[in-house]
A and B are shown apart, each in its own frame.
Chain A
Amino acid sequence: MHAHGPRVFALSFALTAIALAGCKKETPPQNETAAAAPAPAPAPTPFSVTGIEVGKQVGADKRVTNPTTTFGPKDTIHASVATDGAAPKKVIAAKWTYQQGQVVKEAAETIAPTGPAATEFHISKPSGWPAGKYKVEISVDGSPAGSKDFEVKK
């Protein structure tokens, strides 16, 4: 008889438990009274703007594909606002201005983000943009959240 028999048994029990745990499949909750060990819920990420980019195109993910700050008169100008965090309601607004503050256009998107997201704004002018310096200012619920300067050249 080997002296380490119980130890081998204990090891084999532990390995079986680990194997069974590895096979456990995630299932949706069935009812409010289902017994489950309380797991600490991760704290929700507070909502914040993580980046602003401008460019001539955005992808399906609403992010600018090739950021640039120089545009031609006939270009469509896109601004993409990257955000993180969850919130029941956030108003992301873009204010486009020309030179010393002349308002070109204002727009807003009301979203209910549940995590990382991108919100895209775009402007175009069929008759052509006047050359000069422009700015897009982004606000969240009326509070400034960042801005990006760009230029239109002939």
Chain B
Amino acid sequence: MPDPNTPKADFSDVESGSSSTAPPANDRTYTVVKGDSLSKIAKQFYGDAQQWRKIYEANKDQIKNPDLIHPGQTFRIPGA
């Protein structure tokens, strides 16, 4: 148990920071419409159709086959 009578150190000037290799969480989502493909969605969000795998990896729980996505599915779009 901390002793309440122990003088406390002064940490008021402590500076801190943080960063990550993981993309920051954001709430961008996209609902698939007829005619969509992962490449098309990647082009729309990243400007690069080749980034389709990023969307696939983030939504593997609901994409069984990257060639086959269905209207109405809502995907999380990771930050660029």
Chain B 46-80 near chain A by CB (<8 Å), digits 1 or 0? 00011011100110110111111111000010110
Structural contact, A30 and B6, CB atoms closer than 8 A: no
Name the residue on A nearest B20 (C-beta).
A119
Interchain nearest-CB distance for B1 vs A (Å): 8
Name the residue on A nearest B51 (C-beta).
A28
Contacts known (A100-B3, A102-B8, A123-B14); A36 close to B22, Cβ less than 8 A: no
Q: How far, in whole Å, are A105 and B52 apart by their CA atoms in the complex? A: 39
Structural contact, B19 and A34, CB atoms closer than 8 A: no
Give every chain A residue within 8 A of B22 (Cβ-Cβ): 83, 111-114, 117, 119
Question: Which residue from B2, B42, B64, B78 sits with its C-beta under 8 Å from A100?
Answer: B2
Q: Tell me whether A143 is interfacial, beta carbon within 8 Å.
A: no
Structural contact, A105 and B21, CB atoms closer than 8 A: no
Structural contact, A42 and B18, CB atoms closer than 8 A: no
Q: Tell me whether A44 is interfacial, beta carbon within 8 Å.
A: yes
Chain B interface residue count: which class? 35 or more
Chain A 5-45 near chain B by CB (<8 Å), digits 1 or 0? 00000000000000000000000111111111011111010
Structural contact, B14 and A122, CB atoms closer than 8 A: no
Chain A interface residue count: which class? 35 or more
Contacts known (A38-B64, A41-B60, A123-B16); A110 close to B24, Cβ less than 8 A: yes
Structural contact, B67 and A34, CB atoms closer than 8 A: yes
Q: How far, in whole Å, are A60 and B37 apart by their CA atoms in the complex? A: 34
Structural contact, B15 and A124, CB atoms closer than 8 A: yes
Structural contact, A32 and B35, CB atoms closer than 8 A: yes
Interchain nearest-CB distance for A112 vs B (Å): 4
Give every chain B residue within 8 A of A35 (Cβ-Cβ): 67
Interchain nearest-CB distance for A19 vs B (Å): 24
> What are some 24 contacts across the A-B interface (CB < 8 A)?
A30-B67, A31-B37, A32-B32, A32-B35, A34-B67, A36-B68, A41-B63, A61-B21, A62-B19, A62-B20, A94-B18, A98-B11, A103-B11, A104-B14, A110-B25, A111-B22, A112-B25, A118-B20, A118-B21, A120-B20, A121-B18, A124-B14, A124-B16, A126-B15
